[in-house]
Amino acid sequence: MKPSIPKGTRDFSPQEMVKRNYIFDTIKQVFQRYGYLPIETPAMENLSTLMGKYGEEGDKLIFKILNSGDFLSNVDTNLILNADSKLLTNKISEKALKYDLTVPFARYVVQHQHEITFPFKRYQIQPVWRADRPQKGRYREFYQCDADVIGSNSLVNEVELVQLIDDVFTKLNVPVLIKINNRKILSGIAEIIGEKDKIITITVAIDKLDKIGVDGVNKELQENGVSHSAIEKLQPLITFEGSTLEKLNFLKQLLGNSEIGLKGIEEVEYIFKTVDSLGLNTAKTELDITLARGLNYYTGAIFEVKSNAGTFTSSICGGGRYDDLTGIFGLPNMSGVGISFGADRIYDVLNELNLFPESVAASTKLLFVTFGEAEQNYCLPLLAKARTAGINSEIYPDAGAKMKKQMGYADDKKIPFVVIIGSDEMLNGLLTLKNMTTGEQAKITIDSIIEELK
């Protein structure tokens, strides 16, 4: 049988893992710098925890786990014969792989509310699974790196997240554009054009503006039952172009009669003003009225980050504020805001732009090369000594192996230093240290080697 792995999943070889860890380490370091604490949640959640939180499409993309044992034994035969997959699913599956980190986090907060000091800042780096059809930059198993603050309504949190995004991508050398919008503005727009209850339809449609154009958006709105006059009223809003300030002034005029719309404008204005006065390192920001984001639970600010270089156009980071995600689990009035970095897409961007630093490739720093068992025995204590001193080192395990083989091993693993030990070296304790980059060799003691490589 030919070995294989499920569609959309991947193996990661050492060369890739080293690069992936560089991304995880960078993000983790910034998370910690901002005072976020780590948690982990299980790979699987109860299906009921996840269903209904991601919109209709989202529910379909959740990987369901078949119940253990004779999973059909308690199912009504009629239900099976009717072949209604949707109804049957609930009977034969009660667990699912997690779809994102935010909903499990909300569940966690409710369940552990009495142990948590609020506001609670947590970070979480774990894989999530989506039963999507894989394509470029889209995987069925991928890692999200989330930072969320829950239990605080302050917009300072939004500002801080923008700075955090800037810090991460500055460290990774990726030029990015942070798009910001607010669901309240979108609610205001829906209100003003007289289609308040069609907010989701409208936001989903105008989210596609840059892909399908104005005509495409209008067509989709019409198909979904949005009235002609409403579409008419919407036109100036989606076609307006200008600076952030101009956009805000324009919105204030148009949404003047919408309380929620004005609240959204006020929030966005604060975020932009504060971020501007503090300044960002490398990231650019933009108010994008067409940014909607499909996830159902967002209620305030929404963020989306895209690379400004290369061909990779999908978002590499996204997030927003959710006012009542914990309410579903029995803890109301607990507002949170967070962002999620897509590690796998960031990997693809760094790879395309050649932004991985050379230094991340090597892990082992020193290899002991020997000519036989006697030499190997002589080396083992020296190896231990080097390791105790904090130098990543290893010995070629097969004592009789040819030099070419051992040197080739060092070369292949990009080990920068090799220490060669034969009878001469054992006799006087002066070891041959070879610099694999320059080819230079010197005879020195183990203590000097340790001193030099520390």
Site string for RNA, 99-118 (x = CB under 7 A): -x------------------
SS3 4: coil
Question: Residue 6, interface with RNA (CB under 7 A)?
Answer: yes
Question: Residue 142, interface with RNA (CB under 7 A)?
Answer: yes
Among 377, 402, 447, 454, binds RNA (CB under 7 A): 402
Which residue, 128 or 450, is less far from RNA as judged by CB?
128
Site string for RNA, 292-331 (x = CB under 7 A): -xxx--------xx--------xxxxx-------------
Which CB contacts under 8 angstroms, 24+ apart, belong to 221-225? 224/198, 225/198, 225/201
| Alpha carbon distance 144, 124 (integer Å) | 8
Q: Which stretch binds RNA (CB under 7 A): 42-50, 156-164, 239-247, 291-299?
A: 291-299
Question: Residue 137, interface with RNA (CB under 7 A)?
Answer: yes
| Alpha carbon distance 409, 451 (integer Å) | 24
Least separation in angstroms between CB 257 and RNA = 29
Radius of gyration of the chain (CA): 28
Which CB contacts under 8 angstroms, 24+ apart, belong to 83-89? 89/64
Other CB atoms within 10 Å distance of the CB of residue 105:
22
Residue where the block lists tokens 């499909």: 294
Which residue, 79 or 131, is less far from RNA as judged by CB?
131
Footprint of RNA on residues 202-221 (CB under 7 A)? 204, 207-208, 211-212
Closest by Cα among 151, 134, 150 to 142: 134
SS3 296: coil
DSSP label of 160: H
Among 40, 373, 424, 447, binds RNA (CB under 7 A): 424
Least separation in angstroms between CB 413 and RNA = 10
Least separation in angstroms between CB 184 and RNA = 18
| Alpha carbon distance 407, 441 (integer Å) | 14
Please answer whether residues 26 and 168 qualify as being in contact, where contact means their C-beta atoms are separated by less than 8 angstroms: yes
Least separation in angstroms between CB 134 and RNA = 5
Question: Residue 15, interface with RNA (CB under 7 A)?
Answer: no
Question: Residue 263, interface with RNA (CB under 7 A)?
Answer: no
Which residue, 160 or 344, is less far from RNA as judged by CB?
344
Query: What residues pair up with 285 in beta bridges, in sequence order?
Result: 178
Which residue, 136 or 228, is less far from RNA as judged by CB?
136
Which residue, 327 or 416, is less far from RNA as judged by CB?
416
Q: Which stretch binds RNA (CB under 7 A): 2-10, 187-195, 249-257, 264-272?
A: 2-10
C-alpha distances (whole Å) from 366 to each of 16, 21, 454 are 21, 21, 11
Least separation in angstroms between CB 396 and RNA = 12
Least separation in angstroms between CB 223 and RNA = 12
Preceding amide of 119 cis, omega within 30: yes
Please answer whether residues 44 and 68 qualify as being in contact, where contact means their C-beta atoms are separated by less than 8 angstroms: no
C-alpha distances (whole Å) from 379 to each of 25, 370, 372, 419, 435 are 33, 8, 11, 10, 19
Among 40, 57, 232, 447, binds RNA (CB under 7 A): 57
Least separation in angstroms between CB 183 and RNA = 12
Query: What residues pair up with 432 in beta bridges, in sequence order?
Result: 420, 443
Q: Which residues bind RNA (CB under 7 A)?
A: 4, 6-8, 54-55, 57-58, 61, 100, 130, 132-139, 142, 144, 204, 207-208, 211-212, 293-295, 304-305, 314-318, 340, 342, 344-345, 371, 402-405, 407-408, 410-412, 420, 422-425, 432, 434, 436-437, 439, 441
